Amino acid sequence: MQPKIRFFVPAFFTYTGLRINVLGLASPSDWQGSGIVLAAAILAGYRVEHTRDA
């Protein structure tokens, strides 16, 4: 991965993550959708980390 991308991608997601307003999640389906996206991101990160070792 290029050095610029290695810095800017985490910086972008940190910046956007800090701007999220969780009070806007009003209904249970909003929370469910957020949970699905979060679970997919965690599983993808876990998968990438463990396939790198193989």
Q: What is the mean pLDDT of residues 34-52?
A: 84
Structure tokens at 37: 């996206």
The Cα diameter of the chain in Å comes to 42
Q: What is the mean pLDDT of residues 2-11?
A: 81
pLDDT, greater one: 50 or 4: 4
Check residue 25 and report its DSSP letter.
-
Q: What is the mean pLDDT of residues 8-34?
A: 89
**Is residue 43 predicted with pLDDT exceeding 80?**
yes
Q: What is the mean pLDDT of residues 11-32?
A: 89
- Mean pLDDT score of the chain: 84
Structure tokens at 31: 């929370």
pLDDT at 46: 80
Structure tokens at 8: 């800017």
Structure tokens at 38: 């979060």
